[in-house]
Structure 1
Amino acid sequence: MTLRWEAFLDQVQERGQYGTHEEAERAARTVLALLGAHLVGDIRAELAARLPDTFALILLNPLQSAEPLSPERFVRATAAWIEGATEQTATWDVSAVLSVTADVAGQKLTRRALLQLPPGYDLLFGRPDPT
């Protein structure tokens, strides 16, 4: 299921409690660009196929990452890319975007994506692992 641009941003805006679509879009662009650097192969392509076109392109043409970032470093990197962000606001941004992304991806694809990521991302995706 591919979500339309407006619907995706509406959900990010609601979860992140952003005042405008622009704030939601800035968070989505940054978080998905960083996420794309951590996912490879079929999983990145399948996730991109479920996102609105603009966000799919961002995921498929990611910012480069020399190594997989721990969840904490992912949040710090997000804070560094969003003007005026703190680690606290960046955690909010990451969770808003990744939880909507997980909803769009569905449970199976989200689980497969989490296997490519360092431990702890399940919380950022709003999918705490019960194990």
Structure 2
Amino acid sequence: MRITGGCFCKKIRYTATIDPKTVTICHCTDCQINSGTAYGVVVGVTNEEFILEDGKLTYFEKIADSGARRSLAFCSTCGTRIYAKPADGKPGRFGIRVGTVDQRESLIPRQQAFFNSALDWVTDITNLKKM
């Protein structure tokens, strides 16, 4: 599936080819803290499938709970995080933030990662009041 996306202020724009079956809810503590919410939602892509069309990404490197070095790419103007990937630069899959994808309505999570880090209340939110 071909997708387009970008940041909140529209200075960053990208295109990518993704497999919608790779949409994942990530409960790792890094996603919780960096997103400011209970979890992140990402879709897998490879370096070859991701094209930065406009703008310049800023990077922040950190050591994940797993011990892996991670490079977080974001817009330096509005702060929107676009993706995170291994900092070693080796080819492989990485996760684009689904909230930055223009076609996000059609990207439905198929799996969960790091569920052992999920906040207890996340397991059932279907009965909460809808506003």
Considering the TM-score relative to the shorter chain, is it more than 0.5?
no
TM-score, normalised with respect to structure 2: 0.30
TM-score, normalised with respect to structure 1: 0.30
